[in-house]
Structure 1
Amino acid sequence: MNARDLVENSRYRCWMGDLPRPLTQVPLSCLAIPGSHDSGAYGLDKSAGVSIDEPKSVSVLGSLCCGGGLSVISRWSVTQDLSLGQQLEAGIRYLDLRVCIKPDTADAHFLHGLYGSKVITALHEVIEFLVRNPKEFVILDFNHFHNMDDISHKQLLSDLKRLFGALIVPVNKHMSPWQMTLENIWKTRMRVIIFYSDKSSADMKEFWPNYAIPSPWPNTSDSRVLIDFLERNYTGNHRNSDGNFYVWQGVLTPGASTILAHLCGSLKDSIAPRATRAFLEWVANKEPGSRGINICLGDFIHLHDFIPSILRLNDKIQPRQ
């Protein structure tokens, strides 16, 4: 099944609304939630050149071989085949967002090696999804910023407040992470929580700080090292039982040597399958909970049974309710 067919036939479009009642009373930070890694790195634009998040060596590669270098960068930078709206339709509920002000413009874009969609334009798909599926809830995590000063941060923050409005869960004592259950959320208009990892949002009640959503990065291209990293975090209780969200990264990061050794390859074919399969094998015998599994991050989330495998973990919660 191709990506478009998967979205159109998705069984997981309304998985939150379809949960049995006992699970709607569990804090969202204690549920297993599928998330996408570098969610905005789809449909990247080779015509705009190498993006500003890359070192000079990558920019040099992009200038080689009459555009052939840009093709290599594209194959190793794209992390998703689906747009934000399609990812949500497929069952994703956490979006990992990397943002920049595109040089010579005033516009915020996604980026990862190359430039992606305009941020606010793409986020309209999130609004449209929530309007069509009023019992679903989305987590937006803005965690990498490039070429942004105080003015550009304030503009993006203002745009986000205007776009999502009353859908935003504000930072306040009336809806702590422990109280953030679907049952409680459905009694309100709130359907989105926004994390923003820059000090410019510190005094804005609409945006949650990044320390409320730890996301340890394995930073390896070796699946064995990835699993060792995850296992140490899990068995060592590195996750605090404070009710906050927590991200388990099931991804591998290719180094320059990996890319040079596979110039005709891609992240999708050479790295992502190893990462996802290793991660899903590891997570299969783990449990959701305040110190256990919560948000699970993957590349090319429509492949390798990623979304249903994560959602099946929630079946382990039911006997305890």
Structure 2
Amino acid sequence: MDTRYRCWMGDLPPPLTQIPLSCLAIPGSHDSGAYGLDKSAGVSVDEPKSISVLGSLCCGAGLSLISRWSVTQDISLLQQLEAGVRYLDLRVCVKPETADAHFLHGLYGSKVMTALKEVKEFLNKNPKEVVLLDFNHFHNMDAICHKQLLTDLKRLFGTLLVPVNVNLSPWQMTLENIWKTPMRVIIFYSDKSSANMNEFWPSFAIPSPWPNTSDPRVLIEFLERNYNGNHRDNNGGFYIWQGVLTPGTGTILSHLCGSLKDSVAPRASRAFLEWLANKKPGPQGINICLGDFVHLHDFIPSVLRLNNKLSHRK
């Protein structure tokens, strides 16, 4: 795995450390916790009954099929950060018959807090890096489960958290200003249970338009409309550009021996990175870029190279 970009924020030239985070090109991973999924635990609670039935078929063949089309990353959260990812897209559930929060996507993944401890360790070793954690899908979680997860997150990250009421405007959220504080983690949490907690940012603070297509041409048309139509508000806020394709049932049935990694992700990354090459970061330009299997296809270097197009803004 390429770790040249382990400290890319700390390695930026001073002019770029004075630019808002929302105006930098930042690599992000799609379904960041969907690595190392556990077939032995059965189909996860985010899937409909029909998929659960599929998982019970053919002496494990159904679970193998689900696994091949559910895994979106090959490496752990820590390895993603070491490769240069700074935005993590997190889907969470409380695993039935347990009290433990797990990542999930078709199948169950790692325990959330175990994986996030590695995120904190990464930040302790790389003190100039800033990480965005986006909790945007929840399953099998009631108010008590949310309270426990939120409490665990506050306990784990403590003073590393950037609060919503931080004494910085969006335009002042630069690396240079953040480095003057102990803060290094921004958490977005898309459930009302966090509404009165200043440690957590609402989901509307990080728009993430979903292309929802398995066709690369439709993906590019969607991205082009958003880019040229200035669909992104010029307010200093974050914005996600999704470079992913979503396989439908037809795609999966026509590639029964294939996988998301082999049959879809290369086409998505190739189309997205070709589109991205002549774009520029900025207030209404490129910000967070999302992809599957981000350690492949030159994804992370291609996103980071866009920052070479930036000049210092007063």
**TM-score (norm: length of structure 2):** 0.99
Residues 224-282 of structure 1, C-alpha deviations (whole Å, 9 max, x = no match): 00000000000010000111100000000001111111111000000000000100000
- Asked if 1:190 corresponds to 2:183, the answer is yes
- Asked if 1:26 corresponds to 2:19, the answer is yes
Give the aligned partner of residue 38 of structure 2.
45
Give the aligned partner of residue 66 of structure 1.
59
Look up the SS of the partner of 2:127 in the other structure.
coil
What is the correspondence of 1:206-225 to structure 2 with a 5 Å cutoff? 206-225=199-218
Give the aligned partner of residue 117 of structure 1.
110
Structure 1 runs (4+) greater than 2 angstroms displaced: 318-321
What is the correspondence of 1:103-182 to structure 2 with a 5 Å cutoff? 103-172=96-165, 174-182=167-175
Look up the SS of the partner of 1:175 in the other structure.
coil
The aligned length equals 314
Give the aligned partner of residue 230 of structure 2.
237
Greater shift after overlay, 91-100 or 171-180? 171-180
- Asked if 1:277 corresponds to 2:287, the answer is no
Contact 2:18 2:312 in 1 (8 A): no
User: How far apart are residue 82 of structure 1 and its match?
Assistant: 0.6
- Asked if 1:305 corresponds to 2:301, the answer is no
- Asked if 1:294 corresponds to 2:287, the answer is yes
User: How far apart are residue 320 of structure 1 and its match?
Assistant: 6.1
Question: 1: CA distance between counterparts of 2:191 and 2:234?
Answer: 24
Question: 2: CA distance between counterparts of 1:175 and 1:303?
Answer: 36
Task: Name the amino acid aligned to 1:80.
Answer: Q
Equivalent residue for 1:76, pick from 48, 61, 69: 69
Look up the SS of the partner of 1:174 in the other structure.
coil
What stretches of structure 1 of length at least 5 have no aligned partner? 1-5
User: How far apart are residue 191 of structure 1 and its match?
Assistant: 0.4
What stretches of structure 2 of length at least 5 have no aligned partner? none
In structure 2, the CA distance between the partners of 1:101 and 1:28, relative to structure 1 (3 Å rule), is same
Residues 267-304 of structure 1, C-alpha deviations (whole Å, 9 max, x = no match): 00000000001000001101101100000000000101
Contact 2:19 2:312 in 1 (8 A): no
User: How far apart are residue 135 of structure 1 and its match?
Assistant: 0.4
In structure 2, the CA distance between the partners of 1:22 and 1:155, relative to structure 1 (3 Å rule), is same
Contact 2:32 2:89 in 1 (8 A): yes
Question: 2: CA distance between counterparts of 1:84 and 1:175?
Answer: 28
Question: 1: CA distance between counterparts of 2:88 and 2:263?
Answer: 23
What is the correspondence of 1:87-98 to structure 2 with a 5 Å cutoff? 87-98=80-91
User: How far apart are residue 173 of structure 1 and its match?
Assistant: 5.0
Q: CA RMSD in A?
A: 0.9
Look up the SS of the partner of 1:207 in the other structure.
coil
Look up the SS of the partner of 1:208 in the other structure.
coil
Give identity over the alignment, percent: 82
Give the aligned partner of residue 3 of structure 1.
none
User: How far apart are residue 56 of structure 1 and its match?
Assistant: 1.2
In structure 2, the CA distance between the partners of 1:13 and 1:235, relative to structure 1 (3 Å rule), is same
Question: 2: CA distance between counterparts of 1:208 and 1:174?
Answer: 14
